[in-house]
Homo-oligomer: A and B are copies of this chain.
Amino acid sequence: MDQQLHFITVATRDLDAGRSFYRELGWTPTLDVPGEIIFYQVAPGLLLGLFLDDKFTQDVGLDATPVPTGVTLSHNVDNPAEVSRVVSAMAAAGAAVLKEPGDGAFGGVFHALVRDPNGIVWEIAHNPGWRIDEAGAVVLS
């Protein structure tokens, strides 16, 4: 199995709230199917999908409608001030701040945790040991 992810799909209760939230942050969808799914490109070759929760449930073959838990999505920025700036923008767009910007418990990061209108938990982080080389490889030091 190639070591490659192509989609992250998240069960979404309120697709319109998700669309408004990410539009407010300046994101542009690759594809938007009202009442079904919205895709955003979030890395080369990778889409994040907000999938209306009853359709998600049907597609996965589950009985009950899940809320996303046990997963965080992280977005890295260049410095601690930028963490605060992005968190403020997310809060202004309707996110809930779970953890104010500060030192993380692990990994030497300065970070904050924010929940989007549909329960996706985002970590906004500055990690001094993180970089991406010219070939796209992540280097952690």
Interface members, chain A 1-24 (any B CB < 8 Å): 1-11
Check if A1 sits within 8 Å of B59, measured CB to CB: no
Report chain B residues within 8 Å CB of A89.
1
Q: Which chain A residues have a beta carbon within 8 Å of chain B's beta carbons?
A: 1-11, 25-28, 30-31, 36-37, 39-48, 53, 55-56, 58-61, 66-76, 86, 89-90, 98-99, 104-106, 113, 119, 121, 123, 130, 132, 135-138, 140
Report chain B residues within 8 Å CB of A11.
70-71
Partner of A7, one of B31, B46, B53, B73: B73
Check if B69 sits within 8 Å of A1, measured CB to CB: no
Check if A71 sits within 8 Å of B10, measured CB to CB: yes
